[in-house]
Amino acid sequence: MAAKADKIFVNLPVKDLKKSIDFFTKIGFEFNPQYTDDNATCMVISEHIYAMLLVEDFFKTFIKKEISDATKTTEVIVALNVESREKVDELVNKALAAGALPSNDPIDHGFMYVGSFQDIDGHLWEFMHMAEGDAEQA
């Protein structure tokens, strides 16, 4: 079966969450208050595309590398939602078999299951499965 993703969540580190929210609000983006706190916010880009803006210290809890200086280099965590926990494991295992490096151990939040890896260039990827309805509320 081919890899298939139906939503994308781009995770971006930010220095000052309030300033980032203010900036993107001025452009016309909206935020889901259900997924907003002092560490992060969910910016709604479209029905199936979101940007998670994460305070740098919180962003660091998801990675083992240094945060890229976006003024000099570019780095994101590309997170793709798939249809099941089993599909998460299958895709991560395929990536590892193809030469990817492990990133983090699988993370199970109950409503969300995440598997991750580093591609051959070191970019961070996550496949995740969210319980039915959780992503649609974002």
User: Where do the structural domains in the chain lie, given as residue ranges?
Assistant: 7-130
Report pLDDT for 44.
96
pLDDT per position as a tens digit, 62-116: 999 998 887 777 577 888 899 999 999 999 999 999 989 999 999 999 999 999 9
Dig out the tokens for 67 from the structure.
Answer: 């945060």
Confidence of residue 133 (pLDDT cuts 50, 70, 90): low
Mean pLDDT of the chain: 88
Contact (Cβ atoms closer than 8 angstroms) between residue 56 and residue 50: no
- Beta strands (DSSP E) in the chain are 7-14, 30-32, 40-44, 49-55, 77-81, 101-102, 107-108, 112-118, 124-130
Report pLDDT for 92.
94
Domain 7-130 belongs to what topology? 2,3-Dihydroxybiphenyl 1,2-Dioxygenase; domain 1 (3.10.180)
User: What does the alpha-carbon distance between residue 108 and residue 116 come to, in Å, rounded to a whole number?
Assistant: 12
Phi, psi dihedral angles at 126 (to 5 degrees): -135, 135
pTM summary value: 0.66
Report pLDDT for 138.
46
User: Which of 87 and 138 is assigned the larger pLDDT?
Assistant: 87
128 pLDDT higher than 60: yes
